[in-house]
Amino acid sequence: MDKRILAVLGIAALAAVPQFGLGNYHLHLLITVLIWGFVYTSWSVMGRFGMVSLGHGAFLGVGGYVVTMLWNSFGLTPWVGIPIAIVLSMTMALLVGYPCFRFRIVGHYFALVTLALGEVVRLTIVGLRDQTGGSLGMTVEGVPGGTSFLALQFGERATFFYLALIVWAAGLWVWRMVDRSMLRYALEASSEDEDAAASVGVNVTRAKLMITMLSAGMTTIGGALYAQYQMYINPETISGIGISLQIVFAVIAGGLFTQLGPTVGAMFTLLLAETLRVTFGHDIHGLDGTIYGLLLVLFIIYMPKGITGSIAAGLVRRRGAPGAAPAAATH
């Protein structure tokens, strides 16, 4: 079947979901999957090219805090606040990315730089206590009645669901555009051999900057959306190292190289978190982190292509399709 028809049908089916009278809890889970599915997709557009960022919490934080602060202090609508936050995030990505890419900071060293970036943003939020509320977090000022298009606040959960659905679908579309572009080939080539890529005419620094800024901008939107939905943000839960690492974990679990991989990763991590919460409550501190860590190791060893990648490889094997990709080499 034509993939485009399949995609339209899938999104139509999802759009019909709120009509089935789901309870608030289930709708909440769905919205959470969509928002985080979008954030994870944003990370994976660069992560799939071997540019592993451990600091995407930085961009989430800029999205959440800049938009909320502009709204709370100046009454500036998120419709203007979000573009401002995107520009800020992209500038940050440019300032950190340019020296990294110019001087070939790749692999583990690049990951360390991004790790520091996430911490810098988190500490900045904590440090600007008077403006941000510090570690106590910050509440988005609600509008009377709870719903205002201008304030991007929707008292009705179903409305927020549609907003999240649109953003998520747009994220998948961007993923696909990147997947079909020459930029993808340029970045895959660069991730394998920067000299060889440059010698066929790839401006490696520029290509990497472009994808990093795209990823940063998208993640910023995710951060703002998260803030608008929760109506409360906190430096730890939006820019903390835990969030940045969860992004990496979810994408690896779901599948780094497939369009729906990050979304499946969002479902997987949410189900895991909810199961742990319901089963153990908050009795055993740090249990979730331990289990995440263990699972991450298992995924990297046994399912390097993640859940979706393994399913896809299984289907290909069954059909005996030609040109089947051999298992991803550990590089």
Partner 1 sequence: MTGDVMLEVRRVSAGYGSFRALFDVSLEVRAGEAVGVIGPNGAGKTTLLRVISKIIAPSSGEVVMEGTPLGPVPAHRVVEMGIAHVPEHRRLFPRLTVEENLRMGAFHPEARKRFRERLDFVYELFPRMKERRDQMAGTMSGGEQQMCAIGRGLMSGPKLLLMDEPSAGLAPVIVQQVFGLVKRIRAEGYTVLIVEQNIQQVLQVVDRAYLLEVGTIKQSGSSAELLASPEIRRAYLGL
Q: How far is CA 191 from the centre of its chain?
A: 21
Least distance between partner 1 and beta carbon 185 (Å): 6
Least distance between partner 1 and beta carbon 93 (Å): 21
DSSP secondary structure letters along 211-276: HHHHHHHHHHHHHHHHHHHHSEE-HHHHHSHHHHHHHHHHHHHH-SSSTTHHHHHHHHHHHHHHHH
List of residues 6+ apart from 168 with CB closer than 8 A: 34, 35, 37, 38, 41, 263
Using CB under 8 A, which of the segments 17-25, 57-65, 180-188, 284-292 binds partner 1?
180-188
Q: Which of residues 89-128 bind partner 1 (CB under 8 A)?
A: none
Least distance between partner 1 and beta carbon 17 (Å): 38
Q: Which of residues 197-226 bind partner 1 (CB under 8 A)?
A: 197-204
Q: How far is CA 261 from the centre of its chain?
A: 11
Please identify, using beta-carbon distances, which residue of 59 and 101 lies nearer to partner 1.
Answer: 101
Q: How far is CA 280 from the centre of its chain?
A: 27
* Sequence-ordered alpha helix ranges (H) in 255-328: 261-280, 287-302, 306-319
- 35 class by beta-carbon count within 10 Å (0-12 exposed, 13-18 middle, 19+ buried): buried
Candidates 95, 192, 274, 297: give the one binding partner 1 (CB under 8 A): 192
Least distance between partner 1 and beta carbon 121 (Å): 32
Candidates 108, 195, 281, 283: give the one binding partner 1 (CB under 8 A): 195
Least distance between partner 1 and beta carbon 166 (Å): 33
Query: Phi/psi of residue 232, each to 5°?
Result: -150, 135
Taking the alpha carbons at both ends of the chain, their separation in whole angstroms is: 35
Q: Which of residues 291-330 bind partner 1 (CB under 8 A)?
A: 322-323, 325-326, 328-329
145 near partner 1, judged by CB under 8 A: no
Candidates 156, 188, 294, 297: give the one binding partner 1 (CB under 8 A): 188
Using CB under 8 A, which of the segments 51-59, 103-111, 190-198, 280-288 binds partner 1?
190-198
Give the interface size with partner 1 as a residue count (CB under 8 A). Answer: 23
Candidates 172, 174, 178, 186: give the one binding partner 1 (CB under 8 A): 186
Please identify, using beta-carbon distances, which residue of 50 and 137 lies nearer to partner 1.
Answer: 50
Please identify, using beta-carbon distances, which residue of 30 and 210 lies nearer to partner 1.
Answer: 210
Can you read off the two tokens belonging to residue 16? 């019909």
Q: How far is the C-alpha of 137 from the C-alpha of 125, rounded, in Å?
A: 9
Which residues here bind partner 1, judged by CB under 8 A? 182, 185-186, 188-189, 192-193, 195-204, 322-323, 325-326, 328-329
